[in-house]
Structure 1
Amino acid sequence: MSRPAIVVVGAGPGVSGSVARRFAEEGYDVALLGQDQAVIDDLVPGLEARGATVDRAVVDVTDEQAARDAVRRFGEHAGRIDVLHFNPSAFREKDPLALTVSELLEDLALGVGALLTVVQAARPSMSSGGRITVTGSMAADDPWEGAASLGVQKAGVRNLVHSLDKTLAPDGIRAVSVTVRGALSREGAFTPDRVAEAIWSAAARDEDGWTSEVSYAG
């Protein structure tokens, strides 16, 4: 059988890069989807050193057709998608009185809408046992008003994960949002590697007692 494969959407140097490395350590091949060629290229050597075959594409995930095409190509090339990890969100430092409707909708297109795009594209390559994981945030429950759209994104994407999980569960595919209840840091409980470990653990659970949200509090 071919090796399992993970697609990391919103690939970058933080949590998403750590997630890619964590799954590579477990024998997964990795497909990286992101906006910055140099950032993606920087991730590749560390993944290959862990034995992973790496595919990559530079795509704006709010471009629905381009994102769909990239994810479908990943699935066709690997012959399977076992895990789809979704990481993107937009940080816009505006409070609710300064934030415009068009800005809010633009941010939601990235932080929520793009999840629909990539899941729908990945679904034909996913089978029973497949997992969808999302980097969640405490901003969903306790938003900072100075970046009001971020809390709306994180609340929205968590809600969408609940719906995806219910929709896909009859086919044995489960979805989970991992709510990170702390600020990312270079040391301590909230390093990208520690958060990635929590995401790995959430994805690796058995279906018995499955929940579509897991909190990581360090």
Structure 2
Amino acid sequence: MSPDAGPAAGTSPPAPGRPVVCVVGAGPGLGLAAARAFARDGYDVALVGRSADTLERLAGEVEQAAPVDVGWAPVDVADPDALTAALQRFVAHTGRLDVLHHNVSVYRSGGVEDVTAEQLLADVAVGTASLLSAVRAVLPALADARGSVLVTGSGAADRPDAGALTLGVQKAGVRALLQALAPGLRERGVHAATLTVHGVLREGTAFDPARVAERLVGLAARRHDDPATWQPVHDLRAAGEDAA
């Protein structure tokens, strides 16, 4: 694959009727786990992230997990124009988009004496505002598909870390934004949900990325349910304490 060939580099148009998921903020942790889980569930996959080298490697790993088409585009998600253009090129290539998964955040170490207001705003542009840019870019396609917008949340929204000031702000903000968007999206037939992970992502634990990814696939399937049953906020906890 080569990004020079476009956001779906190295792929052919997906099979008719096969759903498409786009993972914004694809990385080697949950982003990869989610892409694999959706691929195994029969989705073609689009990956968006900052590093072309990383995306190319992740695309290869997803292709090994399931016989689906995988495309990718290196993008600065804090740039609304660049993100919009990349997502719209994906939709133009695939002809559809069924699930938009927003998996974006910035981890910046530092307390009150270390983090500036400018840095806070820059991180919020990445971890929070990019959700709005992404949804606006693909809303017509999601509405046509009766699709789903999924957001990876974090317990930092409720228990912010004084040593990573901006993370809790990003996560609280993106959850509030998703909740604010949900009624308008529902009117367009688009399901919206955020999954708050109340723990540290780590293999072999209750917060194994693979487990979180399967939960996301399950949430995506709820777009087929009665919209009256849709809920925007969901939780993943340890010891079988998952919320609905």
Deviations 1:26-80 (A, max 9, x none): 1110111111112111122232230110111111111111111000000111111
2:12 paired residue number: none
2:9 paired residue number: none
1:183 paired residue number: 200
2:23 paired residue number: 8
SS, match of residue 60 in structure 1: coil
Contact 2:32 2:62 in 1 (8 A): no
2:231 paired residue number: 211
Asked if 1:149 corresponds to 2:166, the answer is: yes
| C-alpha RMSD over aligned residues | 1.2
The one-letter code of the counterpart of 2:201 is L
Contact 2:49 2:75 in 1 (8 A): yes
Q: Give the TM-score of the pair, scaled to structure 2.
A: 0.86
Give distance in 2, aligned partners of 1:197 and 1:173. Answer: 20
Contact 1:90 1:107 in 2 (8 A): yes
Q: Mean Cα displacement is larger for which, 179-188 or 132-141?
A: 179-188
Give distance in 1, aligned partners of 2:131 and 2:188. Answer: 19
2:41 paired residue number: 26
Deviations 1:102-131 (A, max 9, x none): 010000000001111111111122125200
Q: Give the TM-score of the pair, scaled to structure 1.
A: 0.96
SS, match of residue 109 in structure 1: helix
Give distance in 1, aligned partners of 2:176 and 2:86. Answer: 25
Identity of aligned residues (%): 43
Give distance in 2, aligned partners of 1:110 and 1:178. Answer: 18
SS, match of residue 234 in structure 2: strand
Give distance in 2, aligned partners of 1:118 and 1:54. Answer: 19
Contact 1:10 1:88 in 2 (8 A): yes
The one-letter code of the counterpart of 1:107 is D
Structure 2 unaligned residues grouped into runs of 5+: 1-15, 239-244
Structure 1 unaligned residues grouped into runs of 5+: none
Asked if 1:109 corresponds to 2:125, the answer is: yes
Shift of 1:204: 1.6
Give distance in 2, aligned partners of 1:141 and 1:153. Answer: 11
Q: Mean Cα displacement is larger for which, 58-67 or 36-45?
A: 36-45
Q: Mean Cα displacement is larger for which, 195-204 or 86-95?
A: 195-204
Give distance in 2, aligned partners of 1:46 and 1:150. Answer: 28
Give distance in 2, aligned partners of 1:140 and 1:215. Answer: 12
Aligned residue pairs, count: 218
SS, match of residue 193 in structure 2: strand
Shift of 1:208: 4.3
Contact 2:101 2:151 in 1 (8 A): yes
Asked if 1:93 corresponds to 2:109, the answer is: yes
Contact 1:76 1:125 in 2 (8 A): no
Q: Mean Cα displacement is larger for which, 186-195 or 27-36?
A: 186-195
Give distance in 2, aligned partners of 1:68 and 1:216. Answer: 30
Give distance in 2, aligned partners of 1:121 and 1:165. Answer: 16
Contact 1:9 1:33 in 2 (8 A): yes
